[in-house]
Amino acid sequence: MVKIKTLEFIDEKLYLIDQRKLPEKVEIFLCETYKDVDFAIKDMVVRGAPAIGVSGVYGVVLGAKEFKHLDKETFLDKMEVVLNILNKSRPTAVNLMWGITKMKELIEKNKEKSTEEIYVLLKEEGDRIKEEDIDINRKMARYGNTLVPEEAIILTHCNAGALATVDYGTALGVIREAHYSNKNIFVYADETRPRLQGGKLTSWELLQEGIPSKVISDSAAATLIRDKKIDLILVGADRIATNGDTANKIGTFMLSVVAKTYNVPFYIVAPTSTIDFNIETGKDIVIEERNSEEITYIEGIRVMPEGVQVYNPAFDVTPEENITAIITEKGIIRPPFKENILKLK
């Protein structure tokens, strides 16, 4: 079963698998301060919406550890800074803001208590959110598996696996569940340019567990879909608007267009913490733009001419009309999305 520990909080330290080094090396990145966590999220030591959310939460715990010896007023001021910094470490995955808001509310509710007591409460909340994430992934996997035929070829994009969560995964959680319930499945994993989360991370997870799979270049997906070689598509999400528009890794939108053209079911797998109830449509989702080196370099080697101009959005928005259903821990949400998503609030 799943052997990958994406993150662990032990002895007041956050241990992350360094996803920048995979699959060549399995190294641990140690976070002893909230600034380490801010760096780890920004630099994608840890990535994937739910994993970022839980790491951010533990970042707040580390902030409280650092400042709990201060007087209450200074502690609360410092925590405000910690919350703001972590909240901004990456902009698109709303799970981060969801987690930080939970910690902020907890501090607010308990601000009359001692700094030590607040620290303990934050730590307990962090542990609870971490455990809950595993439980949520298992629930989504079970719901999602009801949509997977006994024999199926599945296409996935980016990494929505154990590495993108605390354990098991969202889209890859459904794939695991189907595999372990003895369904005869085969997975195509888009390599996912420019950072290759599919080629490096999804393939690594699938190989470790012996789930039959092949990596394809992103541009091969359309041909497979047209040629009826794909039965369903499962992807994760970084932010879902209340009308169902969904931000996910760049390239997801393109897949959804092809899937719609050829009537292939296109499923989003995401916890309800990925729904942003404050926004109505995908137009309000902030899309992270990352540095040009992610495109112009491959493994430290420049592959494009010096001085080339680059546009590098890390996510795109799939319009709700291209989505067949959204699989959450509370059940499978189908159109009309707006009506059905609001019921989850």
Ligand X SMILES: CSC[C@@H](O)[C@@H](O)C(=O)COP(=O)(O)O
Binding-site positions for substrate: 47-49, 90, 197, 248-249
Interface pick for ligand X out of 47, 68, 176, 179 (rule CB under 6 A): 47
Q: How far is CA 93 from the centre of its chain?
A: 7
Structural contact between residues 257 and 322, judged by C-beta atoms closer than 8 angstroms: yes
Structural contact between residues 342 and 275, judged by C-beta atoms closer than 8 angstroms: no
CB of 231 to ligand X, least distance (A): 20
The helix (H) or strand (E) run that includes residue 319 is none
Interface pick for ligand X out of 89, 145, 197, 242 (rule CB under 6 A): 197
DSSP state of 253: H
Binders of ligand X among 220-259, rule CB under 6 A?
236-238, 248-249
Question: Residue with structure tokens 């890390």?
Answer: 314
Q: Which residue is nearest to ligand X (CB)?
A: 236
Residue 164 binds ligand X, judged by CB under 6 A: yes
Q: What mask of x and - would describe binding to ligand X in positions 326 to 345, judged by CB under 6 A?
A: --------------------
Residue 238 designated active-site:
yes
Q: Which of 60, 195, 147, 159 is nearest to 328 (CA)?
A: 147
CB of 236 to ligand X, least distance (A): 3
In sequence order, the β-bridge partners of residue 213 are: 187
Residue 134 binds ligand X, judged by CB under 6 A: no
- SS (HEC) of 54-78: HHHHHHHHHHHHHHCCCCHHHHHHH
> What is the rounded distance in angstroms from the CA atom of residue 262 to the CA atom of residue 223?
11
Interface pick for ligand X out of 170, 202, 243, 296 (rule CB under 6 A): 170
Residue 202 binds ligand X, judged by CB under 6 A: no
CB of 113 to ligand X, least distance (A): 34
- The single residue of 18, 133, 218, 238 carrying the catalytic annotation is 238
Residue 7 binds ligand X, judged by CB under 6 A: no
- Comparing CB distances to ligand X, the nearer of 115 and 145 is 145
Residue 86 binds ligand X, judged by CB under 6 A: no
Buried b (16+ CB within 10 A) or exposed e, 330-343: eebbeeebeebbee
Q: Which of 150, 173, 153, 155 is nearest to 271 (CA)?
A: 173
In the annotated binding site, the residues are 47-49, 90, 197, 248-249
- Comparing CB distances to ligand X, the nearer of 37 and 93 is 93
> What is the rounded distance in angstroms from the CA atom of residue 58 to the CA atom of residue 30?
12
Q: Which positions touch ligand X (CB under 6 A)? A: 47-50, 93, 158, 160, 164-165, 170, 197, 236-238, 248-249, 314
The residues carrying an active-site annotation are 238
